[in-house]
Amino acid sequence: MLEDFPASSDEGRAMCQIVHDMAPAADLAFATANTGEVGFGNNIRALADAGSNVIVDDVIYFAEGMFQDTTVARAVDDVVAQGVSYFSSAGNRPATQGYYSDFRLVENDGSATDGTNIDLSSVPPELYAGGFHNFNPAPGQKDIAQSVLIGGSSTGTLAATFDFQWDDAYNVNPSTIGANIVSGTGTVPPGGSDDFTFSGTAGDCVQISVSDHPDDTAFDAIIELIAPDGSSILTQDTGTDEVLVIGLDQTGTYTVRVTQFGTQTGGDYDYSVDEVIDGCQQLVTTDFNILFFNGDGAFIGATGENNIQSGRPVEIAQILPSQTTSGNIVQVVIARSNTPPPDPQPASRLKYVTFTSGEPQEYFTFNQTPITFGHNSAAGANGVAAYAFYPPFIPEGFTSPGPAIIVFDKDNNRLPQPEVRQKPDIAAMDGANTTFFVSDASQDTDLFPNFFGTSAAAPHAAAIAALVLEANGGPGSVTPDQMRGVLQRSAFKHDLDSYVAQGKARAPGNSRVGIRLTSDGNSLISTMNPNAFEVAFAGQGSLSQLVLNPEATDATAGNTTEPFDATVGFTSRPGLVFDNRAPTLGFPFTLGELKGVMSSDITGTLSNQAPPPAIVGNHFYTLTMDITPGALTKREGFNFGVDRDEADAFGPNGTVGGNSADLLGANVLIPEGTLAPGGMTFSGTTSGGAFSGVFRNRIGSGYSVLDGYGFINAEAAVNEPLE
């Protein structure tokens, strides 16, 4: 034990238990990651110095760089250069829990809010003096507000934390510390705050450090820096210990206000303010802010850090469902405080990731929003995605996709072209038993608690790495690059077009019908998306009927020979069913975008009632769409949505799974590694005659943004020759 954390949740011990179960001969060492980015990085190096050959973590800090390797990522690359193989969780936030875009300027000319209900009258004008971001990518269109659902549902209570960054550079090079200005110890009372002050001169650069005082309990500090004129410069919460290097723009007495994170009962802290001899290098060009409005357009709050002064291209804010109007919808507006000069090149890429809750209801993608970030995306790291231990053997719906887009080098210079890293690198299993952590899952037959998340997948990958080392002669026998290659080459074949399944069919008379589903495995957006399915028709004549039957899908689920359990349903019954219940339990057939056809010309009917445990009147195997003859012709089509549930996962209310498009085509059986054929069939008629087809996935070897090079085959990895 190098360093423990008194207020731990025992998640690290659960990770150690996973490693021990798989590689029982491996020596284990532990050092906390909870003392802030600097402490985390130092403990990574300490583990390597103590002789660790494989290191794994499952921690992320909000302020870690999304476009740059910052403090922890640099520590990872340092130990990898020493020969250590490093593994880290890819994250538990899907693409629908974030946003990525080039910056599209909407001028602050009085017309920016046209077409919205956004009311700027209560917003300090300096927060948007430099204009707004246009969320609408369509040429000639404008929308400065994006609707985001928070709370976990329209009636949920979970807060949403927005972690927003852009492609300016952090100055994360170590500072040269000079004379101490002030230092001491303070105490934060329960539910309160404590202040200390220091004298500063405009133009000076200082380092402010606040750390847990070495007493019986760990104190997690939040600091706010208040200028001599009383204005709040910034609030920072990066971990237990806070380190802030900042340039001062006023002369006088500065106040540092220290509060507690979460529900702690106060605590003691040490503080120090020191001169920075080499000054504060100015790297941030653009001061972005997020403005939040409720569904009625009323202003409810904003982020307002002076990013040019703080030197951090990041804004972090938490929004509570109680701050919204009905439906838990918050409208997000991205604005600039300044208009940056053209040289140096100003920021042009925006990205935010939400934590706990926060799902965009518009301007989102299922598979093209890079979410994973931070040290798990370091060049030397192995970011690990997650698969559950039970069918249908596809990535967990929450696992965070890549790639990582790196814009700056180690010296904070903008790269001529962004470096696109294939992150995550690999995938491993989650949901393993521990003897103490989390709770028991119904998908296994024992009563041990199951540990889910990429937090559990990462130690599985690390344990396999230990076995690979053992098989090849022990420590030093496999370089980090060789280890990554071994694990990636060993992986099972997998779906290379994540969250997409499609089918094509030819009909008599030289016409073609195409249908495509784009959808992830999460219920909040995927269930109730009226544009999930896209239907297109080409060629002669018209489309008059389209029939979908998902009974042959989800082939990796197994067979139907086992009895039904009233609590968990069939655990190995193949197929999907359509669920026509209104939200939130299901979603009836609903038309979305129409392309040259009228909604009155399309009727959707569910039939072929599924047997128990399906809910009578709600679960069906067949969807028939009848189209008025002649109404849908060449280069026309329509979008629609309908809820899908896994037939092998009916619980008491029959709402489990089924949303991922990857279930509609063939998939790979694990651990056999063989292809399980099948797919949702579709058929229909055109004016020229009947047609039929089947949905397909693109199965193969290679990189996918969702699960890297795929799920590691441990047996193959141990026997894989080194290259």
- Residue type for 454, please? T
The 10s digit of each residue's pLDDT in 497-506 is: 999 999 999 9
Look over the chain and give the mean of its residue pLDDT values, rounded to a whole number: 91
Helices 71-81 and 37-49, axial angle in degrees (round to 10): 10
Q: What is the dihedral of CA 88, 92, 97, 98, to 10 degrees?
A: 0
CA 479/CA 481 separation, integer angstroms = 5
The 10s digit of each residue's pLDDT in 555-607 is: 666 433 344 344 443 344 568 889 988 766 789 999 999 999 999 999 999 99
Least confident span in 164-178, 179-193, 323-337, 546-560: 546-560
Beta-carbon-side half-sphere exposure of residue 681 (alpha carbons within 13 Å): 12
- Residue type for 545, please? Q
Percentage of the chain beyond pLDDT 90 is 74
What pLDDT shows up at residue 8? 62
**Residue predicted with more confidence, 509 or 706:** 706
Average pLDDT over residues 220-229: 92
Closest CA to 65 of 376, 421, 307, 403: 376
**Residue predicted with more confidence, 75 or 551:** 75
Average pLDDT over residues 639-661: 77
The 10s digit of each residue's pLDDT in 577-587 is: 899 887 667 89
Give the DSSP letter of residue 617: T
The answer to whether 40 and 31 are in contact (CB under 8 A) is no
Average pLDDT over residues 78-98: 97
The 10s digit of each residue's pLDDT in 439-466 is: 998 878 889 999 999 999 999 999 999 9
What pLDDT shows up at residue 458? 98
0.75 exceeded by pTM: yes
Average pLDDT over residues 1-21: 84
Enclosing H/E stretch for 716: helix 714-719
The answer to whether 94 and 398 are in contact (CB under 8 A) is yes
CA 226/CA 306 separation, integer angstroms = 12
Average pLDDT over residues 504-510: 93
- Residue type for 353, please? V
What pLDDT shows up at residue 581? 84
Average pLDDT over residues 104-128: 96
Closest CA to 405 of 431, 423, 427: 423
CA 204/CA 198 separation, integer angstroms = 13
**How far is it between the farthest Cα atoms of the chain?**
86
The 10s digit of each residue's pLDDT in 399-415 is: 999 999 999 999 899 99
Enclosing H/E stretch for 353: strand 349-355
What pLDDT shows up at residue 269? 93
Give the DSSP letter of residue 69: -
The 10s digit of each residue's pLDDT in 233-244 is: 888 887 678 888
Mean pLDDT is highest, among 281-285, 374-378, 661-665, for 374-378
What pLDDT shows up at residue 649? 61
Cβ neighbour number for residue 654 with a 10 Å cutoff: 22
What pLDDT shows up at residue 14? 95
- Residue type for 626, please? D
What pLDDT shows up at residue 260? 87
Least confident span in 1-10, 180-189, 253-262, 647-656: 647-656
What pLDDT shows up at residue 309? 86
Pairing of strands 85-89, 381-387: parallel
Average pLDDT over residues 111-135: 97
List, as one string, the DSSP characters of 463-522. HHHHHHHHHTTSTTSS-HHHHHHHHHHHSPPEESSTTEEEEEEEETTTEEEEEEEE--S-
Report whether pLDDT(270) > 50: yes
What pLDDT shows up at residue 568? 41
**Residue predicted with more confidence, 674 or 496:** 496
Closest CA to 373 of 38, 92, 635: 92
The answer to whether 218 and 166 are in contact (CB under 8 A) is no
Cα 342 to Cα 68, 190, 406, 413: the distances in Å are 21, 48, 21, 16
